[in-house]
C-alpha cells in the first residue's frame, strides 16, 4: 500500500501527550508495576511519558524490526532484548500503535506476564493489546509528531492581490 492509497491521520505532540497521560492514569495503582518496557522506536516517547506519569524508574527498551520503511515484514526480528525481566511480570510493554498485531504477538511470547498497552489501535491488532486509548481505522496511516516537520504554508487565497 502506498502512502496515497489510504487515509492519513496526523497526531500532534499535545494530542499524543494527552492520550498517553490518560493511558498512564488507567494503570493506577502504580504499586502493581515494576517498570516500563518501551517498544523501539514508536514506543519510546509514550514509554517515557508513562514512566514519568507513574513515577517508575525502571525503564528499558526492546528493539524489534517489523517494518521496512512503510511496509511490514512477514516475521518480526528481535534486535535488542531487555535485561530487567524474564517473563514481563509487573511490567507495562508500551508502544505507540498496534497495527496488524505482529510485533505485539511476537513480544507476548517473550513477555507472557506483561501488560501490553498502546496509545492507538487498529482493528487487526486489537486481540494483541490489553488496553489502548484511541481506535484507528485499519487503512489509515498515522503520522506521529516525531515523523513530521512544522513549516509555514501559503494561504489558500495567495498573495496575488
The answer to whether residues 78 and 58 touch, using CB atoms and an 8 Å cutoff, is no
Residue 154 among the catalytic residues? no
Catalytic residue among 60, 99, 139, 154: 99
Catalytic residue among 81, 95, 139, 147: 95
Q: Output 23-26 pairs: Cβ under 8 A, ≥24 positions apart.
A: 23/50, 23/117, 23/119, 23/131, 23/132, 23/133, 24/49, 24/50, 24/53, 24/54, 25/53, 26/131
Look at residues 9, 17, 57 and name the one whose alpha carbon lies nearest to residue 33. 57
Residue 99 among the catalytic residues? yes
The answer to whether residues 118 and 94 touch, using CB atoms and an 8 Å cutoff, is yes
Query: What value, to the nearest 5°, has the Cα angle with vertex 62 and ends 129 and 89?
Result: 60
Catalytic residue among 60, 81, 87, 96: 96
Residue 95 among the catalytic residues? yes
Catalytic residues: 95-96, 99
Amino acid at each position: 500500500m502506498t502512502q496515497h492509497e489510504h487515509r492519513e491521520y496526523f497526531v500532534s505532540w499535545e494530542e499524543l501527550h494527552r492520550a498517553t497521560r490518560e493511558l498512564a492514569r488507567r494503570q493506577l495503582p502504580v504499586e502493581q508495576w515494576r517498570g516500563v518496557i518501551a517498544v523501539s522506536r514508536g514506543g519510546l516517547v509514550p514509554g517515557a511519558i508513562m514512566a514519568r506519569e507513574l513515577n517508575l524508574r525502571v525503564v528499558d527498551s526492546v528493539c524489534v524490526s517489523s517494518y521496512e520503511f512503510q511496509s511490514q515484514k512477514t516475521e518480526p526480528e528481535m534486535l535488542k532484548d531487555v535485561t530487567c525481566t524474564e517473563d514481563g511480570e509487573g511490567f507495562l510493554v508500551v508502544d505507540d500503535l498496534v497495527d496488524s498485531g505482529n510485533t505485539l504477538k511476537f513480544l507476548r511470547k517473550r513477555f507472557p506476564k506483561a501488560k501490553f498497552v498502546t496509545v492507538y489501535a487498529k482493528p487487526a491488532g486489537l486481540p494483541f493489546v490489553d488496553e489502548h486509548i484511541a481506535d484507528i481505522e485499519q487503512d489509515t496511516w498515522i503520522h506521529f509528531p516525531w515523523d513530521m516537520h512544522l513549516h509555514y504554508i501559503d494561504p489558500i487565497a495567495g498573495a496575488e492581490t
